[in-house]
Amino acid sequence: MDNVIRFSVSLPEQLLVELDKKVSTQGYASRSEFTRDLIREKIVKDNWKDDNSDVIGVLTMIYTHHQNDLVQRIIDIQHDAKIKIMCNTHVHVDHDNCLETVMVQGQANKIQDFAQKIGGLKGVKFSKLVKAAVPAS
């Protein structure tokens, strides 16, 4: 681990009470660990605001495979995407529905465009992009 530098933060008492509740209920070892997670989350969120930032994500979708040409359209969008598709999983939930996850890497704006194209297809019942990035530490 890099050198750890201590710094102090001043908080109103009620905010500190809320912080301690979160640390306790979410199982954090310390206030510091909780604060580090908050900072990392903010860095990831900011990376996604920069359209050219290299980020990663997971697109989760549920769709009916009975919709005309839907599976082929999803495949075509994936093949034409200007992003790296790292992994794809496909599960048959029941006779009518499929669950698919697509792990992607690339520029934030291109990943979001990819997710919107798939989410907008007729027959896609659910689509959600989980945005991630690898913070420096």
Structure tokens at 2: 């890099």
Confirm whether residue 92 is marked as ligand binding. Answer: yes
Please state whether 31 falls in left (phi above 0), alpha (psi between -120 and 50) or beta: alpha
Confirm whether residue 98 is marked as ligand binding. Answer: yes
Confirm whether residue 66 is marked as ligand binding. Answer: no
Confirm whether residue 90 is marked as ligand binding. Answer: yes
User: Contact 82/126 with Cβ under 8 angstroms?
Assistant: no
Q: Which residue, among 109, 62, 113, 114, has the nearest Cα to 89 in the 3D structure? A: 62
Q: What is the dihedral of CA 68, 70, 76, 77, to 10 degrees?
A: 140
Give the annotated binding-site residues: 79, 90, 92, 98
Give the annotated binding-site residues for Ni(2+): 79, 90, 92, 98
